[in-house]
Amino acid sequence: MVSGRDTDKFSATGLTAQPATQVKAPLIAECPVNIECKVRQVLSLESHDVFIADVLAVHYNEDVLDEKGHAVLDKIMPIGYCSGEYRAVAAKLGTYGFSQK
């Protein structure tokens, strides 16, 4: 982990910067989903900060969308950071609501 103030992270990782539509920070071309946000509030906790933000735009790479233009999570393969580790987000557990047959 290095600071962007001291290291050009795009050069160090070989990733490609793309211009965003709503914010100054660049998008990452190789990332299947890019989310542009505007920070509304920063909550300083003892061990870390929590950022509360408004989502301004969401960009999906074409190859992670189905024929109707909906995001396919199995193609995106999302990850999360928890307790010092990056973890794969697991299989679908259910859906919101239910229907009776």
pLDDT tens per residue, range 13-70: 999 999 999 999 999 999 999 999 999 999 999 998 999 999 999 999 999 999 999 9
Q: What's the number of domains the chain is made of?
A: 1
Give residue 93's pLDDT.
Answer: 81
Domain range spanning residue 62? Answer: 9-88
Question: Is residue 1 in some structural domain?
Answer: no
Note the Cα 52 to chain centre separation in Å.
15
Count of CB atoms within 10 A of residue 27's CB?
19
Where residue 99 falls among pLDDT bands split at 50, 70, 90? low
- pTM (2 d.p.): 0.79
Contact 75, 63 (CB under 8 A): yes
CA gap 36, 34 in Å, rounded: 7
Give the CATH number of the domain where residue 26 resides: 2.30.110.10
Question: Is residue 63 in some structural domain?
Answer: yes
